[in-house]
Structure 1
Amino acid sequence: MTDELNCTQLTEPYPDPGTDEAGNSTVPWLITTLVRAYRPFHYYLLTSIVVAAFFANIFIVLVLSHKEMRKSGVNVTMLLIAVCDFGCAVSGMAQLFLRNYSE
């Protein structure tokens, strides 16, 4: 009895892509529909999020770098997190804009 598999995924594997069984499945259809609907807006949404993160982290660093704010360990930690996130935002902006000019 312990040798039997209880997981149906192991006994009934997911159908191979491109077959009729996979085409009739609801999950791939749903994922494909969502991706097709989101694809035209991806660049603009991602750009707006990265630009907002860029400026928000600048403001956070400006506020938390004041002498009164640096006295608390929590504020210093938040300052360092904002600096790291600023680096991520800069690299994200570079990736977005360089993608337009590369082949």
Structure 2
Amino acid sequence: MTSEIHCTQFTEPYPEPGADRAANYTLPVLIITIVQAYRPFHSFLLLFLLLFAFFANILIVIVLWQKEMRKVGVNVTMMLIAFCDFGCSVAALGQMTLRNYSL
């Protein structure tokens, strides 16, 4: 009996909004409302942030690649961080493209 799950979330879901037991569940209703309002804009906001990160990191690497800027260790570190963030934005753009155009 010690291997049983002691979490009631799996056995007792939130009651339907408007039911008697739902009086104390205003926070989940608020969260659900916010999520439903945000959901149509999620793809556009994500695409904007990814494209901004893509181009901003390219510009940062170009600026910090100049010979005068490479002499300082902090600038080299910032350039490497921008390069890694560029890789993350490319991977996220690829994932978003595959998610939108896959079967």
TM-score band by shorter chain is 0.7 to 0.9
Letter in 2 for 1:81: I
Tell me the CA shift for residue 98 of structure 1.
1.0
The Cα offsets for residues 48-87 of structure 1, whole Å up to 9 and x where unpaired, read as 0000000000000000011100011110010000000000
Letter in 1 for 2:80: L
- Root-mean-square deviation (CA, aligned residues, Å) is 1.8
Output aligned runs, 1:1-103, within 5 Å: 16-19=12-15, 20=19, 21=21, 23-24=22-23, 25-103=25-103
Indicate the percent of aligned positions where both proteins have the same amino acid.
Answer: 57
- Consecutive unaligned residues of structure 2, counting only runs of 5 or more, are 1-7
Letter in 1 for 2:34: L
Aligned to 2:5: none
- State the alpha-carbon separation in 2 of the partners of residues 43 and 16 from structure 1: 32
- State the alpha-carbon separation in 1 of the partners of residues 12 and 38 from structure 2: 25
- State the alpha-carbon separation in 1 of the partners of residues 30 and 89 from structure 2: 31
- State the alpha-carbon separation in 1 of the partners of residues 62 and 101 from structure 2: 32
Displaced runs of 4 or more, over 2 A: 13-16, 18-21
TM-score by length of 1: 0.80
- State the alpha-carbon separation in 1 of the partners of residues 47 and 64 from structure 2: 26
Tell me the CA shift for residue 18 of structure 1.
3.7
- Consecutive unaligned residues of structure 1, counting only runs of 5 or more, are 1-12
- State the alpha-carbon separation in 2 of the partners of residues 86 and 51 from structure 1: 10
